[in-house]
Amino acid sequence: MTHRIDFQPDPTNYKHWNVSYDGPVAQLVMDVDETEGLFDGYELKLNSYDLGVDIELSDIVQRMRFEHPEVKVIVMQSGKDKVFCAGANIRMLAGAEHAHKVNFCKFTNETRNTYEAAEQDSGQKYVAAVRGSCAGGGYELALACNHIMLVDDHTSSVALPEVPLLAVLPGTGGLTRVTDKRKVRRDLADVFCSVEEGVKGKRAVDWRLVDEVVPNSKFDEIVATRATEFAAASSKDDVAQGVLLTPLDRRFAEDGSVSYSTVEVTADRAARTVTVTVKGPDEDAPADMAAFQAEGAQAWMLRCARELDDAILHLRLNEPELGLIEFQTQGDPDRVIAHEKLLLENADHWLANEVLKYWKRVLKRVDLTSRSMVAIVEHGSCYAGVLAELLWSVDRSYMMLEEFEGDNRPMATITLSEANFGLFPMSNDLSRLETRFYGTPDSVDALRDQIGTSLDAEEAETLGLVTYAYDDIDWEDEVRLFKEERASFSPDAMTGMEANLRFAGPETMETRIFGRLTAWQNWIFNRPNAVGPDGALQRYGTGKRGDYNMQRV
């Protein structure tokens, strides 16, 4: 594999961010090393970023929650003079393949969503303290914070100059957050997104683009005051000791397979499919949260989430031709339920909360992965509680019915838990069961009666929990035919179809970002006006504007 992108940076050696801690307030300083781009061919000038910069940010945000639960306020600032952040690096975008652009945007969007939700999920509030130019993806970094402060120095501004300058959209949530989160009046949003130089000073507050402007001379002081105030007002419990996120136990093989302690990734390049097998816990659940915390990153519920998360990201960025992900589980369903139960019963414990919220994010990451996905429920599997969510994340599912000759594993079952009824909402804010039974909401209520029951294939099919149940005679052919069929379809059509079918019903700001905004951006990323030889991205920095075909569609 050429240049595998690694989503596990070394936290002792970040290249682009400095983090410092002082009780409940952390300082997060963006100071991009322009020579340390993830690929060759561009320099990360003016605090512009590429995927490598965002991988570090994502890691920091994650560690903030597990390793630094004492933190209640995070102040995001720039380590450069005169510029907060210039946004995604244009030369990187201009040189990147379409698929990389799309996956880069998806990952940065997920990172923005994660720290945006940190206040509600974990009581960690992000404050953007903006000094200097804050443009494009830079302003989108700030938009995902919970509070935006802008220095009033006659030059510092916020801007979304993508449309006039680059002929692409502010696609990392920019357009959606301006209207839906900041609730900027749509004609003012139109003006704002059309002016390269952006908006500064009082007008930025009047237009709702920032929460406050602060005189330059008092900026550091007022930022510090605000951080202290927010920390004091926080309802987050005081937690003295976090949990260290130790390095993942993983091995990459030549053939594309990856082994983690609880996740096995097996690629079949010829068939363009990959099997992701999640292994249930081997040990009994910790006795209490003290024991869980003592296990730390080795506790199965946390370890498995981290490994599955890493596996999904690896497949997305490094294995674009493995078009079908086949989920399997193997293990003892009762043990899965027992491990989960400890957290459910202690959901007000900070660490239990963090682990459950992390599973929410990992499962959303699965939903948003633009690969066809199927869950295979074999004998010996452990689709129980949180792992059962995989059944309804995927596009369809197949379950073994009755005994299979020569298969001595325990018969395939599915076990629901309380967690399946709202603890892991999708981006559309519905549970996976609510989304699945969007047409028959009563079915969801009825399923509550099944909590804790080992449901066999016939029951699971009748209850609508799996798509198909097949016995020994039909199983192999049906699963094989499905995989062959899926592998023969156009990947683009699959992506479009799945993006529509997976998110039935109501939309949220999050689904609007991944649905409406991203779909338009991907369209633009295919149009010559942006990416062609005379398009704006290629011409950026040459002093010449893009040469556009002026036909509207």
Does 231 help bind its own copies (rule: CB under 8 A)? no
Amino acid at residue number 395: D
* φ, ψ of residue 87 in degrees (nearest 5): 95, -170
Does 76 help bind its own copies (rule: CB under 8 A)? no
What is the closest distance, in whole angstroms, from the C-beta atom of residue 183 to its own copies in the complex? 3
Judged by CB under 8 A, the residue of 4, 185, 480, 544 near its own copies is: 185
Judged by CB under 8 A, the residue of 182, 203, 250, 361 near its own copies is: 182
Residues of span 263-322 touching its own copies by CB under 8 A: 272, 320-322
Question: Using alpha carbons only, what angle is made at residue 156 by residues 35 and 541, rounded to the nearest 5 degrees?
Answer: 45
What is the closest distance, in whole angstroms, from the C-beta atom of residue 117 to its own copies in the complex? 20
Count of residues interacting with its own copies (CB under 8 A): 93
Amino acid at residue number 432: R
What is the closest distance, in whole angstroms, from the C-beta atom of residue 311 to its own copies in the complex? 16
- Taking the CB of residue 141, how many other CB atoms lie within 10 A of it? 29
What is the closest distance, in whole angstroms, from the C-beta atom of residue 497 to its own copies in the complex? 5
- What is the contact mask toward its own copies in residues 360 to 399, using x (rule: CB under 8 A)? ----------xx----------------------xxxx--
CA 267 to chain centre: 23
Of 314, 372, 370, 369, the residue nearest 1 (C-alpha): 314
Judged by CB under 8 A, the residue of 18, 120, 225, 500 near its own copies is: 500
Judged by CB under 8 A, the residue of 147, 236, 349, 512 near its own copies is: 512
What is the closest distance, in whole angstroms, from the C-beta atom of residue 28 to its own copies in the complex? 28
**Residue with smaller CB distance to its own copies, 346 or 526:** 526
What is the closest distance, in whole angstroms, from the C-beta atom of residue 265 to its own copies in the complex? 16
Residues 6+ positions from 289 with CB-CB distance below 8 Å: 342, 346, 349, 351, 352
CA pair distance 422, 117, nearest whole angstrom: 17
Residues of span 40-59 touching its own copies by CB under 8 A: none
The torsion defined by the Cα of 362, 522, 88 and 94, in degrees rounded to 10, comes to 130
CA pair distance 346, 461, nearest whole angstrom: 32
Residues of span 434-493 touching its own copies by CB under 8 A: 435-440, 464, 467, 485-486, 488-493
CA pair distance 518, 142, nearest whole angstrom: 19
Does 163 help bind its own copies (rule: CB under 8 A)? yes
Residues of span 518-547 touching its own copies by CB under 8 A: 519-524, 526-527, 529-530, 536, 545-546
User: Any alpha helices (H) in 88-136, and if so which ranges?
Assistant: 90-95, 98-122
What is the closest distance, in whole angstroms, from the C-beta atom of residue 100 to its own copies in the complex? 9
Tokens of 500: 């529509």
Of 429, 440, 434, 444, the residue nearest 507 (C-alpha): 429
